[in-house]
Amino acid sequence: MKNRIIDVSVNTRRADAAAVKADLLAVGVFEDGPCCAAAASVNKTLGGPLKRLKQLGDFEGKAQTSAMVYTDGKIAASRVLFVGLGPRDKTDVQTLFKAAALAAHQAVDRKAKTLGLLLYCAQGKAAPVSLEQAGQAIAEGIGFGAYRYDEYIEQAAKKRASKLTATILTAEAKTAVALKKGAAIGAITAAAQSYARTMANRPANVITPATLAAEAKKLAASIPSLRCSVLEQKQLSAKKMGGILAVGQGSANPPRLIVLEYKPAGASAKTPVIGLVGKAITFDSGGISLKPGQGMEDMKFDKSGGIAVLGAMRAIAHLEPHVNVIGLIPAAENMPSGASYRPGDIVTTYSGKTVEIQNTDAEGRMILCDAIAYAKTLGCRTIVDMATLTGACVVAVGAKRAGLMGNDESLIEQLKAASVKTGERLWHLPCDDEFVEAMKSKIADLKNVGGKWGGACTAAAFLSQFAQGAKWAHIDMAGVGVWGADEKQAPGSIGFGVRLLTEFIRAQGK
Ligand code: BES
Ligand code: ZN
Ligand code: ZN
């Protein structure tokens, strides 16, 4: 490994933006003008460039657009980046997240070491976003936009700053307090998301089930409220985790079940236990039912659900909500070899249910079913699993949303609410009896592939059979785990799910 991921720090300060020394000062602009009086004053001191930019049609404050101007010593910062916030009355946390991400992305591209952000000062009672939420969204956006994955590029450190110090600015002292509170939370979730992106981006020759388990242990060792235990092949065999073992048996890199436990201080026997389960196939070749070669390299991202759980556990353990959380990450490599599981095999899973294998490429459900059943034995009454499970889900809802299925309406609503807050979009799909029927085998309890239709729904219906007795929801993130990036983002993993799961858990712990 050649160099480290960029180190981002976020502060909040009450200051006169024009007097703040920064390599780049990001100033928010709505379609109807500067975001606040302080932003208007920066524009005025610079001689009113916003008017010229609008006349030329170069910048009109539209969301996801920006314009750079050089300050020629008129203010303390060397450059000002006007960042579009869209219509003022449509502001939400996503507006601020995206604007901050855009500013941080450009700052890193220009090797800026310091970034000031004057993006939002909630004004009046009708402010659409609270200051605390704004501080969180801006801090998360900074972390997201500053992220690069270049640890294997020799000259990378020369092409970008190695450290970015970002300061969220406001003109009022009382505003600064609330912004700061939110920014402290956002800095934690942002760092966890960047950590997850790096883990997901690392290739399958680097991240194997064993090295992923070692990373989880390293993480737990660095946070007092987090514990990690790992079931190795011998223990998986002793516990009869037939699903995880079957998928892993064809690879030279044996499977693991990683268990991360977060216990808040003062937790009693009554404190609820929530299970977060994430699919970590470190490489999905399809196994004996081999995938086509084109695009197969993207199957290093088939561990993204497990990584989302890892990242969320990191954020949760730092934020300390009052709820017990167990993160379960079944990890295996799906490879073809003389030792692989085959189509036609009948696998006895941890739950005792038998599964007829019809396609070795439908491996995610085989490792998840063991982890879900195991989560119940560890006392989880609520279980949420996350997985890059089916291509069918991408066909159904596109690459910008994840599918959401489950057996409990209120759990579905809670996840939807968290999703609205973080902007990681979900779409509710069915997985009821009709789909369970499609998963019944003539020679075993279940089979691992349904019929031609509703592949995301039949996959979820399969999992539902192992979640019985618990409140359970399933997030199929196949599309967003692999193809989430656009030209404004670093290529590779977007760390989908880290903030979503963290927000969901924080809401439970309130
Ligand atoms: N990991 C894949 C799903 C996937 C596909 C993720 C595309 C990201 C992008 C999963 O293990 C898989 O191969 N699923 C099969 C299931 C089928 C054999 C029933 C699929 O979707 O084709
Ligand atoms: Zn597969
Ligand atoms: Zn897979």
- Mean pLDDT for the chain? 95
Our answer on whether the CB atom of 388 is closer than 6 Å to any ligand 1 atom is yes
Is residue 485 pLDDT above 70, yes or no? no
> Residues 17-27: what's their mean pLDDT?
96
* Residues 6+ away with beta carbon under 8 Å from 474: 384, 385, 386, 387, 389, 403, 404, 405, 406, 431, 460, 463, 464
C-alpha angle with apex 38: 35 to 40, nearest 5 degrees?
Answer: 60
Q: Whose CA is nearest to atom 13 of ligand 1?
A: 361
Q: Is 291 a catalytic residue?
A: yes
Q: Whose CA is nearest to atom 17 of ligand 1?
A: 362
SS3 at position 321: coil
Our answer on whether the CB atom of 449 is closer than 6 Å to any ligand 1 atom is yes
Is residue 2 pLDDT above 60, yes or no? no
pLDDT of residue 487: 65
**Burial (Cβ within 10 Å: 0-12, 13-18, ≥19) of residue 262:** buried
Our answer on whether the CB atom of 478 is closer than 6 Å to any ligand 1 atom is yes
Probe target for ligand 1 pocket from 247, 281, 361, 366, with the most ligand atoms within 8 Å of CB: 361
pLDDT tens-digit series, residues 280-292: 999 999 999 999 9
pLDDT tens-digit series, residues 283-329: 999 999 999 999 999 999 999 999 999 999 999 999 999 999 999 99
* CB neighbour burial string for 440-454, b if at least 16 within 10 angstroms, e if fewer: ebeebbbbbbbeeeb
Rounded to the nearest angstrom, the distance between the alpha carbon of 387 and the centre of ligand 3 is 8
Q: Are 91 and 97 in contact (CB under 8 A)?
A: no
Q: Are 42 and 27 in contact (CB under 8 A)?
A: yes
Question: Of all atoms in ligand 1, which is nearest to the CA of residue 359?
Answer: 18
Location of structure tokens 């979730």: 189
Q: How confident is the model at residue 483 (pLDDT cuts 50, 70, 90)?
A: low
Picking from 337, 148, 335, 300, the residue whose alpha carbon sits closest to that of residue 211 is 300
Q: Is 248 left (phi over 0), alpha (psi -120 to 50) or beta?
A: alpha
Location of structure tokens 């019944």: 440
Q: Are 477 and 368 in contact (CB under 8 A)?
A: no
Active-site annotation holder among 291, 353, 381, 416: 291
- 3-state secondary structure labels for all residues of 192-256: HHHHHHHHHHCCCCCCCHHHHHHHHHHHHHCCCCEEEEEECHHHHHHCCCHHHHHHHCCCCCCCE
Our answer on whether the CB atom of 333 is closer than 6 Å to any ligand 1 atom is no
pLDDT tens-digit series, residues 351-397: 999 999 999 999 999 999 999 999 999 999 999 999 999 999 999 99
Is residue 50 pLDDT above 70, yes or no? yes
| Number of neighbouring beta carbons within 10 Å of residue 388 | 32
> Residues 142-168: what's their mean pLDDT?
89
Our answer on whether the CB atom of 287 is closer than 6 Å to any ligand 1 atom is no
> Residues 112-130: what's their mean pLDDT?
81
pLDDT of residue 490: 84
pLDDT of residue 122: 64
Is residue 435 pLDDT above 70, yes or no? yes
pLDDT of residue 206: 98
Is residue 486 pLDDT above 70, yes or no? no
Q: How many Å apart are CA 283 and CA 299, to the nearest integer?
A: 5
Rounded to the nearest angstrom, the distance between the alpha carbon of 281 and the centre of ligand 2 is 9
Our answer on whether the CB atom of 302 is closer than 6 Å to any ligand 1 atom is yes
Rounded to the nearest angstrom, the distance between the alpha carbon of 27 and the centre of ligand 2 is 45
In order, the DSSP letters of 21-62 are --SEEEEEEETTEESSHHHHHHHHHTT-HHHHHHHTTS----
pLDDT of residue 126: 60
Q: Whose CA is nearest to atom 7 of ligand 1?
A: 391
Among 48-57, 150-159, 279-288, 413-422, which is the least confidently predicted range? 150-159
Question: Of all atoms in ligand 1, which is nearest to the CA of residue 392?
Answer: 21
pLDDT of residue 287: 98
Rounded to the nearest angstrom, the distance between the alpha carbon of 16 and the centre of ligand 2 is 55
Q: Whose CA is nearest to atom 8 of ligand 1?
A: 478
pLDDT tens-digit series, residues 195-248: 999 999 999 999 999 999 999 999 999 999 999 999 999 999 999 999 999 999
Output Rg (C-alpha) for the chain, integer angstroms: 24
SS3 at position 474: strand
Is residue 3 pLDDT above 80, yes or no? no
What percent of the chain has pLDDT above 90?
88
pLDDT of residue 335: 99
User: Which ligand sits closest to the CA of 389?
Assistant: 1
Q: Is 365 a catalytic residue?
A: yes
Token couple for 99: 């604007």
Q: How many Å apart are CA 372 and CA 406, to the nearest integer?
A: 13
Question: Of all atoms in ligand 1, which is nearest to the CA of residue 301?
Answer: 8
C-alpha angle with apex 502: 152 to 506, nearest 5 degrees?
Answer: 155
Q: How confident is the model at residue 123 (pLDDT cuts 50, 70, 90)?
A: low
What percent of the chain has pLDDT above 70?
97
Rounded to the nearest angstrom, the distance between the alpha carbon of 283 and the centre of ligand 2 is 9
Is residue 401 pLDDT above 60, yes or no? yes
> Residues 83-88: what's their mean pLDDT?
94
